[in-house]
Structure 1
Amino acid sequence: MTAPAPAPARARRRRRTAGYAAAAALLLLALLAVRVLVGTPMVPVDLALRALSGENVPGISFIVMDHRLPVAVVAVLAGTAFGLSGTTFQTLLRNPLASPDVIGVTVGASAGAVIAMAFFQADGRALFWFALLGGLGTAALLLVVSGAGRPGAAGAVDNRFVLVGIALAAALHALISYLLTRLSLHSAGDAMHWMIGSLSSSTWDRAAVLAAALLVLIPALALLVVRLRILQLGDDTATSLGLSVPRTRVALILVAVALSALTVAVTGPLSFVAFLAGPLARMIAGRPSFPLAAVIGAVIVLVADIAGQNLFGTTELPAGVITGALGAPFLLWMLTRTPSSGSGR
């Protein structure tokens, strides 16, 4: 365990992290403007401002208020949720490779949605609930099999959780592949499109669902982060300070799962966003930073959506294709450096 940094060093580090977060937030605002203005057709700034002020501008009001702005808002909310979820898992499990993508949570949510399509012909709100239940069910199975809810050596529990998650993700992928064979050609196509991860069906209703979830889950996570800092000192030290280690670990996992599963239920599994946001924030700030990871997650999703809509001619690619293309080489790079970086602390 490394000694705590002196108070002046901690203050400088906090100011530096706040500066990076502010710069990332400004970049996010710029990307929001790009997402609303750029596309086919292009929207002039003055007409966009008139539409945003509530004026009915023929054609433009629909493009801005009913099409592009809901997509941009859902992208920001989804990226924020994925960034917070991934950083929670990576910090709690002391492993930069641990994210909802890798340990099976997002696959579980996808399996829930495909089950709903295959057996109940569900869509809309029913699909949302099945995806959420799939993610939560996967988390419950992870907790039981890995023993994360029982006292024990932190490293052993954390390693078991990651290994069990990888195995469970493989099994769920096989289940999804089988279920796709049970669907009609049209339904299988819809399921595959959803599983790639797309913002094309974003609406104000879906944005409201995500916003309401974040209004509940972010304060809950903020309260738990204080306990997470204590938990990082080790189980014995945390217990001696009066912290219930199993209960805290389970609470953090449930909040992280809810963040990712709710988002997958709305957007589909946007690959690697949760995985990328935390390590990038840590590289920039020099330590885990939840606010910076949240903003970086939102930036990644917006950049992916803008790129998918505008960089490939008449072909529009779902955001999940772009995030997968960004995340795969980053994962390989992380795998090559993990043995020399220890536990990722």
Structure 2
Amino acid sequence: MSAGASSRSRLAHTHLTGAAPAERVDFGRRVLVLRRWKVAVRVEWRSVTVCAGLALAVACMAVLALMTGSYQLSPGQVVSALTGGETGLVHDVVVEWRLPRVAAAVVFGAALGVSGAVFQSILRNPLADPSVIGFSQGSYTGALIVILVVNGTYQQLVGGALLGGMATAVAVYALAYRRGVQGFRLIIAGIGVSAMLGSLNTWLILKADLDQAMSAAAWGAGSLNGVAWNQVIIGGVCIAALLLVAGMLSRPMRQLELGDEAAASQGVRVSPARLGLVVVGVALTATVTAASGPIAFISLVAPQIARRLARTGGITFAPAAFVGALLCLAADYIAQHVAPTPLPVGIITVMLGGGYLGWLLFTEARRRL
């Protein structure tokens, strides 16, 4: 049979049966549909696969971090201690000494990944990051005032960081507003506000007592050294609630990526949705900052890596959270066990994030040539 006759045969089959031959039908990307009561959630299978792979990588990295230290352990001892099979010194090393740090790295990294995804999505700019546009510096300023002036508790630190971050967000939005807020203008205003707050933070540290100044400076580098179980539990509960709210706002966020007019035509209340997303993003950053200081660049890098792994049209929360957790855990492992001397995790993330930022700017410049 000739090629033309074969083509006519397929067309006749389509006309008579109402369906094209199975090998030629393209149903698009495979989607997993979850239905519960009156709620239906559609998730792409590739995103599910990527998240499962990232979760496995996070688990392996966590076991490696729990094994490594001045008192070396085997994987079997770590798993046994986590499941209650070990007592005595091994249990204390794994559960009481090392696990809070590992859990904090996972939880805080996930929070930073989602925070970066929020700002990069609503501003439609891969450079939109809380540490770049000043929100992290604002949270650090609020927490620093609580540390140096009030000498407050962790709950007061969370409140101060949240107030500082929200005040900075209001200031940046006011400076960037000109008949609306454009992403590039907001980033430029945020960089200027961040530089001013950095100077203010330096002045606060210089005016403080020596002991307070040294502890504040070390904490300001972004470190998980002093994280205890109470901070992990309180911060984890706050972050879990914020991630739930972020999940509820994920659909309006995806529609906002199309532009305000397109989102409004689909029934999205643009201003309340954007305000809710900004509050969630700032609150996630503030919670992490209050516990461990400003850990920079994870919220910049994680969403972009997640988007490339999942190959989604926009930025999604779940892959960004898993990538953020993996990056924070790996950076802390490098800072503690690979570097010549133990370092704050924020120093490693700045090094990695700075290299990524340079690569991103270089690729964007080449694309426009």
State TM-score, norm by structure 2. Answer: 0.84
Q: Which has the larger radius of gyration?
A: 2
Deviation at 1:56, TM superposition (A): 6.0
Checking the alignment, whether the CA contact within 8 Å between 1:278 and 1:293 is kept in structure 2 is yes
Identify which of structures 1 and 2 has the higher relative contact order when contacts are C-alpha pairs closer than 8 Å and 6+ apart.
1
Checking the alignment, whether the CA contact within 8 Å between 1:131 and 1:261 is kept in structure 2 is yes
SS for the counterpart of 2:95 is helix
Checking the alignment, whether the CA contact within 8 Å between 2:239 and 2:287 is kept in structure 1 is no
Checking the alignment, whether the CA contact within 8 Å between 1:71 and 1:202 is kept in structure 2 is yes
Deviation at 1:289, TM superposition (A): 2.6
Deviation at 1:341, TM superposition (A): 5.4
Separation in 1, partners of 2:72, 2:51:
30
Separation in 2, partners of 1:292, 1:340:
27
Separation in 2, partners of 1:37, 1:251:
41
Checking the alignment, whether the CA contact within 8 Å between 2:111 and 2:288 is kept in structure 1 is yes
2:230 to 190, 205, 217: 205
Checking the alignment, whether the CA contact within 8 Å between 2:256 and 2:263 is kept in structure 1 is yes
- Are 1:300 and 2:327 an aligned pair? yes
2:168 to 135, 138, 158: 138
Checking the alignment, whether the CA contact within 8 Å between 1:281 and 1:296 is kept in structure 2 is yes
- Are 1:94 and 2:136 an aligned pair? no
- Are 1:61 and 2:79 an aligned pair? no
Q: What percentage of aligned pairs have identical amino acids?
A: 32
**Counterpart residue type for residue 306 of structure 1:** Y
SS for the counterpart of 2:133 is coil
- Are 1:193 and 2:218 an aligned pair? yes
The equivalent residue for 2:35 is none
**Counterpart residue type for residue 211 of structure 1:** G
The 1:47–1:194 alpha-carbon spacing in structure 2 relative to 1, beyond 3 Å, is same
Separation in 1, partners of 2:226, 2:125:
34
The equivalent residue for 1:232 is 257
**Residue deviations 1:123-181 (CA, integer Å, cap 9, x gap):** 54433332222112212323333349xxx55xx53333222211111110111111111
Separation in 1, partners of 2:364, 2:275:
26
Separation in 2, partners of 1:123, 1:341:
49
Separation in 1, partners of 2:359, 2:197:
25
Separation in 2, partners of 1:48, 1:240:
54
Separation in 1, partners of 2:264, 2:156:
42
Separation in 1, partners of 2:79, 2:259:
53
Separation in 2, partners of 1:71, 1:121:
23
Which deviates the most, 107-116 or 84-93?
Answer: 107-116
Separation in 1, partners of 2:138, 2:256:
27
1:264 to 289, 299, 302: 289
Alignment of 1:1-345 (within 5 A): 8-11=27-30, 14-54=44-84, 57-122=87-152, 124-147=154-177, 156-287=181-312, 288-313=315-340, 315-339=341-365
Q: Tell me the matched-pair count.
A: 331
Uncovered stretches (5+) of structure 2, i.e. residues with no partner: 1-24, 32-42
Uncovered stretches (5+) of structure 1, i.e. residues with no partner: 1-5
**Counterpart residue type for residue 129 of structure 1:** G
**Counterpart residue type for residue 237 of structure 2:** A
How big is the alpha-carbon RMSD for the aligned residues of Structure 1 and Structure 2? 2.2
The equivalent residue for 2:9 is none
Separation in 1, partners of 2:355, 2:174:
32
SS for the counterpart of 2:249 is helix
Deviation at 1:337, TM superposition (A): 2.5
Checking the alignment, whether the CA contact within 8 Å between 2:101 and 2:228 is kept in structure 1 is yes
Separation in 2, partners of 1:241, 1:82:
29
Deviation at 1:340, TM superposition (A): 5.3
